[in-house]
Amino acid sequence: MLRLFLLRHAEAMTTAAEGDKARRLTEKGVRDALQFGDYCLKAGFIPDEALVSSALRASETFEALIKSFPQKPRVNFESALYNATAQTLHGFIQTTSATTLSLLIIGHNPGIAELAFALASESASNWASLETMRRHFPAPALAIFEFNCATWAETAAGCGTLQCFLTSPSLQSGHRS
């Protein structure tokens, strides 16, 4: 069983003098990323490996997310993940090593949301979570999928089981989709 975490970066400043890639997280964004990390730790959702966009807001999200993790995942900061399409993101997934059983990708919309929508299987057991995810994939949002595949290369559209979909408001209210 393979587990995939698709995380849209936390809330960032609207502008940066150095350009879009240099936008930092807001204070709320840092708090939210820390809260997501605490949730993942308590739920036992600790990735083996992370692929993180080279944008500053993505790397800051990653650093806050893993702050409380007892074991830090292997991480690669990838410039090709910056504003990547769903197809590009899926290409990264499909080339992930077979030794990685759980993979975290931190990226940007629309690609991260489009990939989540594409991978999700239609199932009565996760219909409400799918509908919530399809309505809005805000910054931050985390979709956690499981795949009944032996390798990442076997992952395909419609074959991921959405385990949960988290947003900052859902974590604060205690309601997890």
* pLDDT tens for the chain, residues 1 to 177: 999 999 999 999 999 999 999 999 999 999 999 999 999 999 999 999 999 999 999 999 999 999 999 999 999 999 999 999 999 999 999 999 999 999 999 999 999 999 999 999 876 466 677 788 888 999 999 999 999 999 999 999 999 999 999 999 988 776 555
Per-residue confidence (pLDDT) for residue 148, from 0 to 100: 94
How many folded domains does the chain comprise?
1
Per-residue confidence (pLDDT) for residue 125, from 0 to 100: 60
Distance CA(13)–CA(98), nearest Å, equals 37
Per-residue confidence (pLDDT) for residue 22, from 0 to 100: 96
Under DSSP, is residue 122 helix (H, G, I), strand (E, B) or coil? coil
Instruction: Determine the structural domain holding residue 20 and report its residue range.
Output: 2-173
Domain harbouring 39, CATH code: 3.40.50.1240
- pTM surpassing 0.85? yes
Q: What counts of helices (H) and strands (E) characterise the chain?
A: 6, 6
